[in-house]
Structure 1
Amino acid sequence: MAGDTVITIIGNLTAKPEIRYTNSGAPVASFTIASTPRTFNRQANEWQEGQTLFMRCSAWRDMAENVADSLDKGMRVIAQGRLQQRSYTDREGAQRTVVEMQVDEIGPSLWRAKAQVTRTPGGGQGGGHGGYNQGGGQQGGYQGGGQGGYGGGQQASYNAPSGGATDDPWATGGATNFGDEPPF
């Protein structure tokens, strides 16, 4: 993590994310985000578009499947991740270098759209992202797997009701028994 180049990019998907599976069975979604900067030219009194950046991105494991199921061509997204550079030899034998983004977080932009979020079961599987260990098993944690990390395997209750309980103030459509005062 130390020394990683972390960026946030906002733009539109150029195509539907493509999901593939590694030899070990881990899903990976590949997609491209097109981001075009716009600046206001005061002299011309108009908006002008700059040169479009096409950022190749990849998302792994549970996030890969969620991305493939949730996002589609043309959708405006906000993605945060780490830039990674890799070199390879192309078919003609020339050495090539590309910069790609390994996505840590992604979601639809709600600037001109609405989204309905559905939480997926599971989490805490360890590995690349870890799923923040929201109710998952003993492994997980933010960025890295293993025990510990953000969440540390055991979910703290903070005297909050379990998800979906009738007195859960964050549940959709549920009534609270707190009156007008927050529970803290």
Structure 2
Amino acid sequence: MAGETVITVVGNLTADPELRYTQNGLPVANFTIASTPRTFDRQANEWKDGEALFLRASVWREFAEHVAGSLTKGMRVVAQGRLRQRSYQDRDGNNRVSIELEVDEIGPSLRYATAQVTRAASTGGAGGGNFGGGQSRPQQQVSEEPWSTPGSSSADAWSTPGSFGDDTPF
């Protein structure tokens, strides 16, 4: 959408993502990312932390379940999404405004850690990253990709080391 504020935030989760369900059964995960700028003070010859930014974030649907099952308190993450402003009244009746991040993409930062990625079985739907035209793909067929020839026995190239040969373009 035009005019939306899209940002990327790098920081640490302050707690495990909290997975809840709406009255309609729609999953939503809420969490806070703490991003603290660091600068090097040449006079003191040391790194100094700036003031931390605590940004509330949310993800919806199957994405919420993936986040809640994969990310934990303290993990350094890279999150990209759209800033949303929300107005509400607190318990005392005062009008308040909060800025929250509606996450489009999130993953662990690999700067100081390693990660093992496991492809989740898709349930279909729009924007699910599934190439089967919205069809659900059974878990046992993970090795046969929709772009492979039907009946071929080619393994998933991403999960088989060296399957691209030496002509990999990246």
TM-score band, normalised by shorter chain: 0.7 to 0.9
Q: Percent of pairs identical after alignment?
A: 62
The corresponding residue for 2:70 is 70
Q: Which has the higher contact order (CA 8 A, sep 6+)?
A: 2
CA spacing shift, 1:59–1:43, aligned 2, 3 Å: same
CA spacing shift, 1:18–1:44, aligned 2, 3 Å: same
Pick aligned residue for 2:128 from 123, 127, 131: 131
Secondary structure of 1:133's partner?
Answer: coil
Counterpart amino acid of residue 134 in structure 1:
F
Aligned residues: 160
Answering whether residue 1 of structure 2 is matched by residue 10 of structure 1, we say no
Answering whether residue 48 of structure 2 is matched by residue 51 of structure 1, we say no
The corresponding residue for 2:110 is 110
Residues 69-108 of structure 1: matches in 2 within 5 Å?
Answer: 69-108=69-108
CA spacing shift, 1:165–1:107, aligned 2, 3 Å: farther
Unaligned runs of 5+ in 1: 139-154
Give distance in 2, aligned partners of 1:47 and 1:75: 21
Unaligned runs of 5+ in 2: 136-144
The corresponding residue for 2:158 is 170
Q: TM-score, normalised by structure 2?
A: 0.83
Q: Provide, for residues 43-90 of structure 1, a one-character-per-residue CA deviation record: whole Å limited to 9, x for no partner.
A: 322211100000000011111000000011111111000000010011
Give distance in 2, aligned partners of 1:82 and 1:35: 16
4+ residue runs of structure 1 moved beyond 3 angstroms?
164-169, 178-183
Please tell me whether the aligned partners of residues 123 and 134 of structure 1 are also in contact (alpha carbons under 8 angstroms): no
CA spacing shift, 1:165–1:8, aligned 2, 3 Å: farther
CA spacing shift, 1:85–1:2, aligned 2, 3 Å: same
Q: Provide, for residues 139-161 of structure 1, a one-character-per-residue CA deviation record: whole Å limited to 9, x for no partner.
A: xxxxxxxxxxxxxxxx983xx56
Q: TM-score, normalised by structure 1?
A: 0.77
